[in-house]
Amino acid sequence: MEESFENNRTIENKGLQFPWLIKMAWRDSRRNRSRLFLFVSSVILGIAALVAIYSLSNNLRQEIDKQAASLIGADLEITSNKPVSPALKGLIDSLGDRRSEERRFASMVYFPKGGGTRLIQVRALQGEFPYYGDLETNPVVVARTFRNEQQALVDQTLMMQFNATVGDSIKVGNVTFRIAGILISAPGQTGFSASVAPVVYIPLKFLKQTGLEQKGSNIGYRFYYKYDRPINIRQLTAGIEPRLEKEGLNYDTVESQKEDTARSFSDVTRFLSLVGFIALLLGCIGVASAIHIYVREKINSIAVLRCLGAKASQSFLIYLIQIVGIGLVGSVIGAALGSVIQQFLPVVLKDFLPIKIANNISWTAIGTGVLLGLIISILFALLPLVSIRNVSPLNTLRLSLQSTNLFKDPIKWLVYLLIVLFIFIFSSFQLKNWKQSVSFTIGVIVAFLILAGIASLLMWLVRRFFPSSWSYLWRQGLANLYRPNNQTSILIVSIGLGTAFICILFFIQTILLNRVTLSAGGNQPNIVLFDIQTSQKQDLLELAQKQGLPLNQTVPIVNMRLEAVNNITASTLQKDSSIKIQRWIFGREYRVTFRDTLSSSEKITKGKWIGKAGNPSEPVYVSLEERFANRNQIEVGDSMIFNVQGTVMPVVVGSLRQVDWNRVQTNFLVLFPTGVLEDAPQFHVLMTRVSSAAVSARFQQAVVKQFPNVSIIDLSLVLSILDQILSKIGFVIRFMAGFSIITGLVVLIASVVISKYQRMQESVLLRTLGANRRQILAITALEYFFLGAFAAFTGILLALAAGWGLAHYTFDTTFTPQLLPILVVFILICLLTVIIGLMNSRVVLIKSPLEILRQEV
């Protein structure tokens, strides 16, 4: 018998009939298009966020390539924080066809016209630097001419702050300069760096006269080189690197500057992309839950098609084609929206960027976005779509008794695997760190499983402890949680994951912002004087006392470099990547103090604090800040070798300390006992508190006049600048997190709106049986309230766990979530779920039951 069928096969088997499938997909979508669009609306925002960020990072990369030379301003730059030794002088003077020299240091300046003083960065320049790009000045010509006379270029914010005009004078140390022009920007300078430390350029030949170049001053030495003939800079720097490194000098080339800038911005774009990815993941949840319910409603149509002779693959493909179509439309809209948003991102980020970015449309970003949107729509829709293959034609006669078991469908497992792979691959792509990607992927899976588990537990609990004595409305609302066609699992997972993502972003934002918040209130010092020479200390203290200022703290500071930890040096570190010490600990300068007691902001957590050094033959025990020690796996008892301006100083780690960095006072990574550093070259810091701006100005003027080399930080000014910076960073974070939050809300709305089709018929039947408006609303509100409350509660718990983990392991800080915002999120999610749920039932209430039953045919 089978054979006769086989004989006819050539006539019968028409293949998949692709054109017909497309036609059917189109026909079937006609009455569902708005709903299908709702499915992908959540993808749109995720794609928009990613396309915007990708476009920005593409444009950034292009501009960095284009403008790298002007970031550094020369072919080669050599920097040092001490005067160049005679041994190196020959080399320094022999490089380049043209060369310029610069000294940089912080100093106070004084505006004689208005009497204002302020801490600025002095740049004493000689030569034609910059060779690439410009010192942007007004008038333009002074960028070149100021260096010939006793003239200065003054940063525009400084000019505005002191109401100065070109032609006025400015006093730097002992020398008064004529302001030749306004400095608008210098190579590689960002908006923020200018506001924190505004720059004043003076000709180098006047530096000595200013009297600011004293022993112990923190002066940076820079040498800029330009080659007029073609030269292999890489080869050149490779040749001189060992000599430079030996003397503690660094160098920078156009190429290395390009890499550094690209690297620092890849951090920014990585964070932003991750936020975009979370938005996209939320979108994925939206797609999966929406298609799940869509497919459930289509079971009857699929059964009819199967009855009429459609193959399982044909019915599956009809709906897959719909998803591809609508996914493509959604992705294109998302990419277009992303390209529009990208026009604004450079404006938002402009203060962070050292270069100007063009708002070019990035076709690569658009292409990636569209492709990604398409992949996501298909992948996350596949999970519910594959069950179409198992829809029996018998459903036309009655609902199939034998439902397909998930565990028996290997294709479903394959789809799950693909989804996990996708999350892992994409997060690796964003995070560029496979370990973090594994944690992220596991985190998402665990969150998913916990939510699914909570949903099952809720259904079990309600059924097990069903409150039979409660009123009908409560019973009906509760029973809806576990009865057939319930939406408990799908809504709890989607709303819960949405809530978790939103809260995690909120927590990260709080952690990031809290990290940099200073407590400036109370009687804390608000003026810091530094670079005080030992010889000036006493006179300065007297001056402060004369002005009636309290002396909160005077601290000696010694500059030193770290040469080795347990005999590991920078060069052994370079050769052996398995050593868990961060490389920067050898490159930097340590500002170290010495005292015999701990300050109020310090607490010993390990070892013992020894405040006084013993015999010269005994080891010197120092105390390290505990997080610095932990990050570099330095333990109590480990040995370290410091280089104190030429003198080698071996020490032993005696204790680890916890330091409250948020306190306004001098805090240190490394603390020496007394009896060791007293004779080392040092300067002093003095902290005091002034009661008003007028007292502050008077004191500052007196200090600048008497001690021109002493720098003053006015903390209230710093705090206001910091506040501006933080509000801008906060804005950037909120701007990007906004995408995820809005996507989360769209997913929430989509999930609940789609679920209305599940309850519609039931509500109509209740109406038909005589339920009034209030009763229908109460039943619906109760069901959605339970769903919203459980989902939001679980989501918040997950977010708290993730927030704690992130704070503890990633941001290395304490996690103190604020209860009020969490409560607000909880109430908002519950309210939103209930409101959208109630809006869904509106249709049932305003139309006649018959009308709806007819529509539902």
Partner 1 sequence: METILSLEGVSKMYQSAGNTLTVLDHISFSVDAGSTLAIVGPSGSGKTTLLGLCAGLDRSSSGSIYLHNIRLDELSEDRRAQVRNLYVGFIFQNFQLLPTLTALENVMVPLELRGEKNIRLRAVDLLNKVGLADRGHHYPAQLSGGEQQRVSLARAFSNKPQILFADEPTGNLDAETSEKIVKLIFDLNKEAGTTLILVTHDHELASKTGRIIRLKGGKMVSDEQTIAAQVE
Cα–Cα distance between 342 and 359 in angstroms, integer? 7
Give min distance, CB of 766 to partner 1, in A: 21
Residue type, 272: L
Give min distance, CB of 809 to partner 1, in A: 48
Give min distance, CB of 32 to partner 1, in A: 7
Cα–Cα distance between 736 and 670 in angstroms, integer? 38
Which one, 18 or 731, has the nearer CB to partner 1? 18
Give min distance, CB of 329 to partner 1, in A: 18
- Phi then psi for residue 753, to 5 deg, are -60, -45
Q: With contact defined as beta carbons under 8 Å apart, do 391 and 302 qualify?
A: yes
Which one, 313 or 720, has the nearer CB to partner 1? 313
Using CB under 8 A, list all residues that contact partner 1.
Answer: 1-2, 4-5, 8, 12-14, 17, 20, 23-24, 27-32, 300-301, 303-314, 392-394, 396-398, 401-402, 854-857
Give min distance, CB of 419 to partner 1, in A: 27
Q: What angle do CA 39, 44, 45 make, to 5 degrees?
A: 120
- Phi then psi for residue 583, to 5 deg, are -65, -35
Give min distance, CB of 291 to partner 1, in A: 16
Give min distance, CB of 378 to partner 1, in A: 22
Cα–Cα distance between 240 and 342 in angstroms, integer? 43
Cα–Cα distance between 77 and 54 in angstroms, integer? 32
User: Which of 200, 253, 249 minimizes the C-alpha distance to 75?
Assistant: 253
Give min distance, CB of 9 to partner 1, in A: 9
Cα–Cα distance between 504 and 737 in angstroms, integer? 10
Which one, 32 or 547, has the nearer CB to partner 1? 32
Which one, 29 or 289, has the nearer CB to partner 1? 29
Which one, 118 or 298, has the nearer CB to partner 1? 298
For 517-574, the DSSP string reads: -----TT---EEEEEEEHHHHHHHHHHHHHTT--EEEEEEEEEEEEEEETTB-HHHHH
Give CA 161 to chain center in angstroms: 32
Give min distance, CB of 398 to partner 1, in A: 6
- Phi then psi for residue 175, to 5 deg, are -110, 135
Altogether, the residues listed in the chain come to a count of 857
Give min distance, CB of 850 to partner 1, in A: 12
Q: Which residue is listed with tokens 């990290």? A: 515
Which one, 17 or 701, has the nearer CB to partner 1? 17
Q: Which residue is listed with tokens 């209740």? A: 766
H helices, E strands: number in the chain: 27, 20
Q: With contact defined as beta carbons under 8 Å apart, do 760 and 856 qualify?
A: yes
Side-chain half-sphere exposure of 209, counting CA atoms within 13 A: 12
Instruction: Tell me the three state secondary structure of residue 815.
Output: coil
Q: Which residue is listed with tokens 């003239």? A: 151
Which one, 717 or 853, has the nearer CB to partner 1? 853
Give min distance, CB of 305 to partner 1, in A: 7
Which one, 119 or 852, has the nearer CB to partner 1? 852
Which one, 313 or 816, has the nearer CB to partner 1? 313
The answer for residues whose C-beta is within 8 angstroms of residue 700's C-beta and 6 or more apart is 108, 117, 527, 712, 714
* Element containing residue 325 per DSSP (H, E): helix 312-342
Give min distance, CB of 320 to partner 1, in A: 16
**Residue 100 token pair:** 């310029």
Give min distance, CB of 450 to partner 1, in A: 30
Q: With contact defined as beta carbons under 8 Å apart, do 283 and 43 qualify?
A: yes
**Residue 475 token pair:** 């019973």
Distances (CA, A) of 59 to 51, 257, 272, 773, 807: 12, 17, 15, 57, 32
Give min distance, CB of 323 to partner 1, in A: 16
Instruction: Tell me the three state secondary structure of residue 199.
Output: strand
Which one, 214 or 301, has the nearer CB to partner 1? 301
DSSP 568: B
Which one, 141 or 411, has the nearer CB to partner 1? 411
Which one, 402 or 469, has the nearer CB to partner 1? 402
**Residue 492 token pair:** 């709890």
Which one, 242 or 309, has the nearer CB to partner 1? 309
Which one, 1 or 819, has the nearer CB to partner 1? 1
